Structure 1
Amino acid sequence: MIPFVRELEFEYGRCDEVSPRIRRVIARNPGPFTYTGTGVYIIGQGEVAVIDPGPDQEEHFEALKAVLAGERVTHVLVTHHHLDHSPLAHPLAQAFGAKVYGLPAPAPHASDAPALEEGGDDRFRPDVILADGDVLSGPGWTLEAITTPGHTSNHVCFALKEENALFSGDHIMGWSTTVITPPDGDMGDYFASLEKVKARGFQTLWPTHGAPVREVGPFIDAYVAHRRAREAQIVEALAAGFTTIKAMVPSLYAAVDPRLHPAAAHSVLAHMLQLVREGRVAATGDGLDAEYRLA
């Protein structure tokens, strides 16, 4: 079982000091994929970085401008291009004379994926494209970009050196598992990125949605174990004679509301594509309509 952390004390638009170098403002965009809303992190005092400015809502923008009044924003950082993370990045940067840092949105894919997310801003382009290991700094703070593809191909986390903490975006969230939707989401990349983060030994994870994760190693282990258990169930379904994803989903997700089965099918697809790459499964056809069997 994943030891989810779901308790969070907050008020929309309020600025909370959550550590000596970190403040947080939560946007009023709660939902099934955003939990209580987008948590915007402000790093430092006086000369600051802002991580994931969030949705382009007037109320939220005004709250951020009020909090940042009198300070110099030197960096606006974006973990990925989804609409609950990136739209306010350029307006905020323009208001404070800063630049936007991150990775550009991938090219749009033709996909029959259901609306699992808040959606993506396919036009998102940062002013500065980051590479893995790039370091950004200000008075009293140092941030390192850590590329973590999986949830999206352009996902980046940011490590705060002075507190051995990681701003984990949607890569790891305390309140829920992360959605992996092909073709941009990739299960193999996701497993590798989880191991990459675990190897760093961070003391705290600060997800964009929800509360911080303090027991980082055991939490990531549980995250991985959950995915591996689902993978094992898929292999068992194939061994039992199921050959299509649509046929196996009602059995694999028997305890889940059937209205969520289309979303579950894409999660199974992410696992199946990785099993095919590993040579453990053979496919005839593509995607959800393919037939699969154990290799």
Structure 2
Amino acid sequence: MTDQPLVETVHPLVRRVLAHNPSPFTSTGTQTHIVGQGEVAVIDPGPDIPEHVANILKAVEGERIVAIVCTHTHRDHTPAAGPLAQATGAPVMGCAPIMADDGSGLEAGFDHSYSPDRIMVEGDSVSGPGWTLEAVFTPGHTSNHLCFALPEAQALFTGDHVMGWSTSVVIPPDGDMGAYMASLEKLMPRDDAIYFPAHGDPVTKPKQLLRGMLGHRRQRENQILRTLGKGAASIPDMVAQMYVGLDPRLEKAAGLNVLAHLIDLDQRGRVRAEGELWSLAA
């Protein structure tokens, strides 16, 4: 259990309920956000933990859920959509389903039970009294990832695209580093004053964080190129050199992040694969 209160008000239009699924990939757990008053939207209902579904229902007691909105279909984000819809009759909407498995074996994995009533694309919206959620397509962490803008609060619900505690893992073949970087760049011109991520605290200086995230990924890319400048190397060798002191539970995820960078660099003609070894392109 956790000392986290059942429901926290983080903005006059936004409440959040924390799922009890802490891990090296989820921080303290997945945060389900409730938007509005009276007639509300639930963003990222989270894992299918009966206690969490009950906590969401308790948090909106006396209100009506009019939309269950999903940013992407990792298993810590969408499985509770079905039980919540069954309990309330609310439609499930947001990202498109992904039927393939990422093959990583990581706990994130895709939720193949996700079956939306409405698939949303860039610019689509859903609204209620005093609130509007507008879809912003941000592929990269997953190919189906959406953020949702709440213009009435100058806020953006960023799912796992931008988190308040760590950078996102990008897992090929569905995750795409080039798309992820482009999606970070896409947010830069926006006027959002605050981000509400699915993991970690609200982000009150979005542009500063975005610049830091972009810089971090570019540094990682340069680190890979410098490492390969010393000679061909395997991904485990690169992880050992680049992620000193890494939690062993995160080594596989780090390797997949490196692979995502390598695929992007390969597509840009900077590196090449030779079996399990990678080297600089001639």
One of 5, 10, 15 as aligned partner of 1:23: 15
Q: What is the deviation of 1:244?
A: 2.7
* Distance in 2 of aligned mates of 1:171 and 1:246: 25
One of 274, 280, 283 as aligned partner of 2:273: 283
Letter in 2 for 1:177: T
Give the equivalent residue in structure 1 for 2:148. Answer: 158
* Distance in 1 of aligned mates of 2:247 and 2:55: 37
Give the equivalent residue in structure 1 for 2:280. Answer: 293
Give the equivalent residue in structure 2 for 1:35. Answer: 27
One of 30, 40, 64 as aligned partner of 1:72: 64
Q: Indicate how the Cα distance of structure 1 residues 26 and 261 shifts in structure 2: closer, same or farther if over 3 A, else same.
A: closer
Q: What is the deviation of 1:124?
A: 1.6
Answering whether residue 122 of structure 2 is matched by residue 135 of structure 1, we say: no
Give the equivalent residue in structure 2 for 1:84. Answer: 76
Answering whether residue 46 of structure 2 is matched by residue 59 of structure 1, we say: no
Q: Indicate how the Cα distance of structure 1 residues 12 and 57 shifts in structure 2: closer, same or farther if over 3 A, else same.
A: farther
RMSD (Å), alpha carbons? 1.8
Give the equivalent residue in structure 1 for 2:93. Answer: 101
Moved over 6 A (4+): none
Q: Indicate how the Cα distance of structure 1 residues 110 and 102 shifts in structure 2: closer, same or farther if over 3 A, else same.
A: closer
Q: Indicate how the Cα distance of structure 1 residues 16 and 109 shifts in structure 2: closer, same or farther if over 3 A, else same.
A: closer
The answer to whether the 8 A contact 1:136-1:144 is kept is yes
Give the equivalent residue in structure 1 for 2:258. Answer: 268
Q: What is the deviation of 1:279?
A: 1.5
Aligned with 1:87: secondary structure? coil
* Distance in 2 of aligned mates of 1:258 and 1:61: 32
Q: What is the deviation of 1:243?
A: 3.6
* Distance in 1 of aligned mates of 2:250 and 2:37: 44
The answer to whether the 8 A contact 2:239-2:251 is kept is yes
The answer to whether the 8 A contact 1:185-1:270 is kept is yes
Instruction: Within 5 Å, give how 1:197-216 maps onto structure 2.
Output: 197-216=187-206
Give the structure, 1 or 2, with the largest relative contact order (CA under 8 Å, sep 6 or more): 1
* Distance in 2 of aligned mates of 1:248 and 1:98: 47
The answer to whether the 8 A contact 2:24-2:249 is kept is no
The answer to whether the 8 A contact 1:15-1:24 is kept is yes
* Distance in 1 of aligned mates of 2:199 and 2:7: 15
Q: Could you state the TM-score of these two structures normalised by the residue count of structure 1?
A: 0.90
Give the equivalent residue in structure 1 for 2:235. Answer: 245
Aligned with 2:166: secondary structure? coil
Give the equivalent residue in structure 1 for 2:217. Answer: 227
* Distance in 1 of aligned mates of 2:12 and 2:102: 45
Q: What is the deviation of 1:261?
A: 3.1
* Distance in 2 of aligned mates of 1:218 and 1:157: 18
Q: What is the deviation of 1:290?
A: 4.8
Aligned residues: 281
Gaps of 5+ in 2: none
Aligned with 2:134: secondary structure? strand
The answer to whether the 8 A contact 1:242-1:248 is kept is no
Give the equivalent residue in structure 1 for 2:175. Answer: 185
* Distance in 2 of aligned mates of 1:123 and 1:108: 12
Give the equivalent residue in structure 1 for 2:185. Answer: 195
The answer to whether the 8 A contact 2:140-2:178 is kept is yes
Q: What is the deviation of 1:165?
A: 0.5
Gaps of 5+ in 1: 1-9
One of 240, 247, 254 as aligned partner of 2:244: 254
* Distance in 2 of aligned mates of 1:248 and 1:259: 17
Q: Could you state the TM-score of these two structures normalised by the residue count of structure 2?
A: 0.94
Q: What is the deviation of 1:258?
A: 5.2
